[in-house]
Amino acid sequence: MKTLSLALVAMLAAAGPVAAQQITGAGATFPAPVYAKWGEAAKAAVGIELNYQAIGSGGGQNQIFNRTVDFGASDAPVDGAKLAEQKLLQFPAVMGAVVPIVNIPGVELNKLKLTGEILAEIYAGKITKWNDAKITAINAGLALPALAIAPVYRADGSGTTFVFTSYLSAANAEWKAGVGAAASVKWPAGNGAKGNDGIAATVKQVKGAIGYVENAYATQNKLISTQLKNKAGHFVEPTLAAFSSAAASGDWTKAQNYAVDLIDTAGATSWPIVSATFILLPKDPKDAARSAAVMKFFDWAYTNGGKIASDLEYIALPKPVQDAVRASWKSEIKG
Amino acid sequence: MSHSLASPAKPLASASRTSSVGDVVFAAIAKAAGVFVLLLLGAIIVSLFIGGWPTFRAFGMGFLFNADWDPVQNVFGGAVPIYGTLVTAVLAIVMAVPLAFGIAFYLTELAPSWFRRPVGTAIELLAAVPSIIYGMWGFFMIVPFMAEWVQPPLIDALSDIPVVGALFKGPPFGTGIFTASLILAVMILPFIAATMRDVFQTVPAVYKESAYGLGCTTWEVMRSIVIPYTRVSVVGGIMLGLGRALGETMAVTFVIGNTNRLSTSLFGPGNTIASIVALEFPESQAGSLKLSSLLALGFILFVISFIVLAISRTLLRPGAK
């Protein structure tokens, strides 16, 4: 008996009174860099240690459906019926943008102008040369070679693909009917590459290639991105200001379960391919303390994580949305 | 193979009988280990089949021949990855076997003896290189080389010829079925070469010396003495390579182009079973038809590997010619 109590004392001493509260999450790879930075900062600030595994959005949904993690993360919003069935609360964490990248001799950063319509036709294999009349018509000052277009897409199922194909579907009715939007689709043309790095490397290696990556990845690796025409009819460059403008012009009040549509928003300076990424939290947590820690973590991230997010070229949520999410935590999560 | 092994010595009758309990226990443990392997294999097959059952029920045999893979419409067919798996593995064997034979022949018959050890060690080291390294090497070195120097001239020269031209059509991405086969060939080369070298060395010197005594050339000794003597093990080594080529995942994923479209061109992109499973698995939801289709593909890969093994065993049965 004595040894047992001694062992208990030893265990308690080892655990220590100031041990950080651990929380576990799994899912989307798209926001993984910002979650990692938030995790480091939050450990120092509020003593919550985040263990996040970037296993993909689908995997994150599976894990939270099985309740093997404290929260799941997904780029594609989960539909309302499934959320109700699985007793999950869905809320946005942060927003990000996707940008097209190209490798055309003589074309510099953000010089080429493209539209959603043209992107869809390129990825459908209908526009096959860079000097196609549709492209040269909107790029008057640019000398485009008679080079074959080599479209590159994400071969692995990916939230980035979901966002990009959502945009193509919004821009082109034929794409919407024939291919659609999902984490992986039946691509009519082009080659697949694994991950953002695979796309970037393939585009760099193949003359005439076009691909799409998360914006942070494009800026960090100095890839040649393009301009895009937004809904208001203006050509915009992929800048943080253009992303923020898109985030601000999203209609958050109408969105069910915060599944807001930020694709091709109406703002005059908006970048057209912007998306929120979501957190899935059980409404009936097994362990209320851990669930509370998750909410505390994101509360801290909303208030103090904006700088970290914008350093990594992600976009923090607008203040009213943050407050609405905080209200949902209070009303919907059993404590 | 059997005749090259010495038959195991018979246990001595005079061995002590005191440890009969130990014998029984040991025999039971050994038997359990043997049965366990069978059970494990069976359990894997059964669980793959059960996982793939919704797909087989939904698409039937058509799953094998349907080239449509459309996650949005929930239509899945396995023809493209099955075709890609078979074609890349067979092409890799076609490229690797002659080279491996040359290496083994040179090392056992022609090379000066001081040179045999370093080359032999190099081959064994090649076999120890992790497949992800081959993938990266292929992606960053071979793919640009193919895109720049190999594919454009071949496409220009050959693509207008009827029939043959279809094999070389398409934009020069550098990736594709041909590049994947090339990487696979390099990966399985050390296995085949090392096996061939080892079995060529098992040929008793007296056979070869007799042949040389009769006036045979080195090549005639190789063809008439060494190869017939080691035929079984040589085919075994090739099967080992084929097995690795069929299931290779990472290296192929890097260079095959990952496209679920059927391509007649060797330079066209494709997909293999192992690579599509690795790529699509993280984004497949539990209980979805997509996950079931991936498991069904896993089951089919299992069956293909099983058939390859069965065919090799049948061919290698003593007396089969």
A10 pLDDT higher than 80: no
Residue B4: predicted pLDDT:
45
Residues B75 and B185 occupy one common structural domain: yes
Taking only the tens place, the pLDDT of each residue in B188-210 is 999 899 889 988 988 999 999 99
Q: Tokens in use for B41?
A: 């294999």
Of the residues B13, B29, B59, which one is the last residue of a structural domain? Answer: B59
User: For chain B, what is the total number of helices (H) and then of strands (E)?
Assistant: 14, 2
Average pLDDT of chain A, as a whole number: 88
Residue type, B103: I
Closest residue to B282, CB basis, from A55, A198, A201: A55
Burial class (CB in 10 A: 0-12, 13-18, 19+), B9: exposed
A185 closest CB neighbour out of B72, B147, B257: B72
- Pair B52, B72 in one domain: no
Disruptive mutation site among A67, A85, A153, A205 for chain B (greatest number of B CBs within 10 Å): A205
Degrees, nearest 5: CA angle A188-A193-A195: 125
What number is the ipTM of this complex? Answer: 0.74
- In the 8-state DSSP scheme, what is residue A77? P
- B164 with B198, same domain: the answer is yes
**Contact yes or no for A37/A307 (Cβ under 8 A):** no
- Please tell me the total count of domains within chain B: 2
**Per-residue confidence (pLDDT) for residue A39, from 0 to 100:** 93
Q: Are residues B106 and B155 in the same domain?
A: yes
Per-residue confidence (pLDDT) for residue B53, from 0 to 100: 94
- Looking at residue A335, its pLDDT comes to 65
Please say if the pLDDT value at position A1 is more than 70: no
DSSP string, B71-120: TTTTEE--HHHHHHHHHHHHHHHHHHHHHHHHHHHIIIIIS-HHHHHHHH
CA distance A31 to chain B (A): 16
User: In sequence order, which residues have a C-beta less than 8 Å from that of residue A317 and are 6 or more positions away?
Assistant: A92, A93, A94, A95, A247, A276, A302, A325
pLDDT of residue B285: 79
Are B80 and B48 part of one and the same domain?
no
- For B139-152, the DSSP string reads IIIIHHHIIIIIHH
B138 and B287 within one domain: yes
Supply the pLDDT for residue B1. 40
Looking at the structure, do residues B54 and B138 belong to the same domain, yes or no? no
Q: Per the CB < 8 Å rule, is B71 touching A185?
A: yes
- Residues B34, B143, single domain; the answer is no
Contacts of B72 in chain A (CB under 8 A): 179-182, 185-186
pLDDT tens-digit map of A265-324? 888 999 999 999 999 999 999 888 999 999 999 999 999 999 999 888 898 998 888 998
Q: Percent of chain B, pLDDT > 70?
A: 92
Who wins on pLDDT, A55 or B44? B44
DSSP string, A39-56: HHHHHHHH-EEEEEE---
pLDDT digits over A145-194, tens only? Answer: 988 899 999 988 888 899 999 999 999 999 999 999 988 899 998 889 88
- What pLDDT, in 10s, does the model give residues A253-271? 778 888 888 899 888 999 9
Q: Phi and psi for A282 in degrees, rounded to 5?
A: -65, 140
- In this structure, the number of other CB atoms found within 10 A of the CB of residue B110 comes to 12
SS3 B35: helix
Mean pLDDT, chain B, rounded, equals: 86
For chain A, percent of residues with pLDDT exceeding 70: 94
Q: Which residue of A has its CA nearest to B70?
A: A186
User: Residue type for A292, please?
Assistant: A
Measure in Å the smallest separation between the Cα of B157 and chain A Cα atoms.
18
Question: What pLDDT does residue B277 have?
Answer: 92
Residue A3 has pLDDT above 60, yes or no: no
Annotation: CATH topology of A5-96+274-332:
D-Maltodextrin-Binding Protein; domain 2 (3.40.190)
**Shortest distance, CA B70 to any CA of chain A (angstroms):** 5
| pLDDT value of position A15 | 44
Within-domain flag for B320: no
Question: Are residues B256 and B204 located together in one domain of the fold?
Answer: yes
Contact A272, A263 (CB under 8 A): yes
Does the beta-carbon distance from B286 to A62 stay under 8 Å? yes
Distance (Å) of CA B180 to CA A119, B222, B251, B320:
29, 32, 8, 34
Positions of CATH 3.40.190.10 in chain A: 5-96+274-332, 98-248
Residues B111 and B13 placed together within one structural domain of the fold: no
Chain B: residues touching A (Cβ < 8 Å)? 68-73, 139-140, 143-144, 147, 171, 173-175, 253-254, 257-261, 269, 279-280, 282-286
Q: How far is A258 from chain B (nearest CA, A)?
A: 21
Whether A183 sits inside 8 A of B71 (CB atoms) is: yes
B283 neighbourhood in chain A, CB within 8 Å: 56-59, 156-158, 183-184
Output the pLDDT for position A132. Answer: 94
Q: Which site among B277, B283, B288, B289 would you substitute to test the A interface, given the most A Cβ atoms closer than 10 Å to its Cβ?
A: B283
Task: Say what the pLDDT of residue A175 is.
Answer: 96
| Residue B18: band (very low, low, confident or very high) from pLDDT cuts 50, 70, 90 | low
Is residue B31 domain-shared with residue B149, that is, in the same domain? no
Tell me what pLDDT residue B76 has: 93
B232 belongs to a structural domain: yes
Q: Please answer whether residues B203 and B230 qualify as being in contact, where contact means their C-beta atoms are separated by less than 8 angstroms.
A: yes
Q: Do A201 and B139 touch (CB under 8 A)?
A: yes
**Residues B83, B195: one domain?**
yes
> First and final CA of chain A: distance in angstroms?
36
CATH number at residue B167: 1.10.3720.10
- Å from A29 to nearest chain B CA? 11
Instruction: Look at residues B23, B39, B59 and tell me which one is the last residue of a structural domain.
Output: B59
Judging contacts by C-beta atoms under 8 Å, the chain A residues touching residue B282 are: 55-56, 58-59, 156-157
Q: What is the pLDDT of residue B6?
A: 47
| pLDDT for residue A68 | 92
Domain A98-248 fold: D-Maltodextrin-Binding Protein; domain 2 (3.40.190)
What is the span of the domain harbouring residue B131? 62-315
For position A216, what pLDDT does the model report? 81
Predicted TM-score of the model (pTM): 0.81
- Shortest Cα–Cα distance, B138 to chain A (Å): 12
| pLDDT greater than 60 at residue B11 | no
State the average pLDDT over residues B80-86.
Answer: 93
In-domain check, residue B321: no
